Amino acid sequence: MMEDMDKEEINFVLTKKLFDKMNNMIEEKKLSVENAILLLKHMGYFNVLKGTFNFDFYRSILNKRFEKMLVDENKKNEEKNEKLLADFCECYLLLNEGISSKTLSISVPCLLKVGLKKEESEEAQKEVEMALLALSNINLSWNYQRVTKELYFSEITEIIEYHQEHRNLTRLAYQSAWKFLINRLDNDKGLEEIIINELHFVEEAARELKELTRNADWMKTEEKDGGKDAKEVHFLIKWFNVIYKYLYSCNSWNKGNVGLICCVVNLFRTVKDDYREISVLCSDFFGDAMRSKSVKVDDLLKGEAIDLFLEKIIQSTLNDKMTYVHLLRFMNVSRQLKGKENDEKEESKRKTTKRKELEKMEEEGHEDIITSFHEIIDFLNRKYHRQLSTNISDYFVYV
């Protein structure tokens, strides 16, 4: 049932009342702990997969019970049940938006141990996927500093590197491993070099987006399944969330930026208006890239992002928010290009780039099209927060 639910429906089901009732059933021996775990793991799986967010489990009595059982099980020595401990950790992390330091210190090593499994059976892959998905849910700001590097670093890098060589993880497991690692970046800038140059995050993210875009048949799912989103949609959304976190937290330039931008441009053109949520994520990506210290304006030009903005401006209508968004994107790129490079060779290259862009705009009539929007800029600013310049020259680069 939960597989067919959307975010709102899942939030409606996963309530404190439900969790407290399950706790009472366990207390009264009407529900075994093993069956409760099985049910809660499935609930948690769809809770995280579909990106829901609530504190009901955290506020429930069941959360306190599970936290105590998790700690008690971990204290055992010879009698410790590793499978039961992992199950407890998964339930706890998949449903919880407020995780204690004590349980993090137990859960992270326990689930990384599961994630390191190399068996290729479907059952083993599912176990690994569930463990890494649970780890990826440690994403709130007050949890970042509690996961010390000693708890995770060698294991998570081994998981990612092994997959890159053998492709042993499911798509969701691989994305989850990256999300867990990227979430650590805010409090450990030393990870940048490893993420960029050793684990090649940008290239890997581009490859994943390309794979998800290559077969566009999933876009027909919406019509076939009565509005139910394809799994690919959820994977795309989750990858964009990780990419956003990377752009926000990373300060170092990456040579793979152009390839990633090309992938997003291609995805934007592919989905068109069929998936509005994906279109908005693509558009937001360009805004994030422009604000990121890790992306240069030349990356956006080489990745054909500027051509895309011009295409969308032509297609836009007066009441379409995309008119405003793409004019804003174009204006910001133009302003960045007006800056001068300190190095003479780089400045000469920049002038050549500017000249080519101007010539292209003139040949294709884009200058006239943008100028035609001048009369409605005040209207767009009143409707969408007053950020567009009323000086039309701000939208063009002059060499």
Residue 287 · residue 322 · CB < 8 Å? no
Is the CB of residue 247 less than 8 Å from the CB of residue 292? yes
For residues 133 and 335, which has the higher predicted lDDT (pLDDT)?
A: 133
pLDDT at 5 over 50: yes
Work out the average pLDDT over 53-72: 90
Q: How confident is the model at residue 141 (pLDDT cuts 50, 70, 90)?
A: very low
Q: How confident is the model at residue 227 (pLDDT cuts 50, 70, 90)?
A: very low
User: Strand, coil or helix: what is 189?
Assistant: coil
pLDDT at 2: 83
Integer CA distances (angstroms), 372 to 96, 338, 369, in order: 52, 22, 5
Instruction: Read off the tokens for 214.
Output: 């290559």
pLDDT of res. 351: 85
Residue 217 is classified by DSSP as G
Instruction: Give the pLDDT confidence score for residue 229 in this predicted structure.
Output: 59
Would you call 36 helix, strand, or coil by DSSP? helix
Q: Residue 185 — left, alpha, or beta (φ > 0 → left; ψ -120 to 50 → alpha)?
A: alpha
Mean pLDDT of all residues in 333-350:
83
**Furthest-apart CA pair in the chain: how many Å?**
78
Write out pLDDT tens, residues 228-240.
557 788 889 999 9
The pTM assigned to this predicted structure is 0.89
Most confidently predicted of 255-259, 274-278, 335-339: 255-259
- Give the separation between CA 273 and CA 135, rounded to whole angstroms: 34
- Give the integer Cα–Cα distance in Å for 392 and 43: 53
- Say what the pLDDT of residue 204 is: 97
Which tens digits make up the pLDDT trace of 296-336? Answer: 998 998 999 988 888 887 777 666 787 888 888 888 888 88
Stretch 11-15: mean pLDDT: 90
Domain parsing of the chain, residue ranges: 201-303, 304-322+331-399
User: Is residue 159 very low, low, confident or very high in pLDDT (cuts 50, 70, 90)?
Assistant: very high
Q: What distance in Å separates the CA atoms of residue 24 and residue 17, rounded to the nearest whole number? A: 11
Looking at per-residue pLDDT, the higher value among 380 and 172 belongs to 172
- Residue 223's pLDDT is what? 47
Q: What percent of the chain has pLDDT over 70?
A: 93
Average pLDDT in the 183-208 region?
A: 93
Query: For the ranges 70-79, 210-219, 338-347, 387-396, which has the lowest average pLDDT?
Result: 210-219
Q: How high is the pLDDT of residue 226? A: 45
Question: Mean pLDDT score of the chain, rounded to an integer?
Answer: 87
Q: Which comes out higher in pLDDT, residue 77 or 142?
A: 77
Q: Tokens 């200058």 sit at which residue?
A: 367
Place of tokens 């409605």: 376
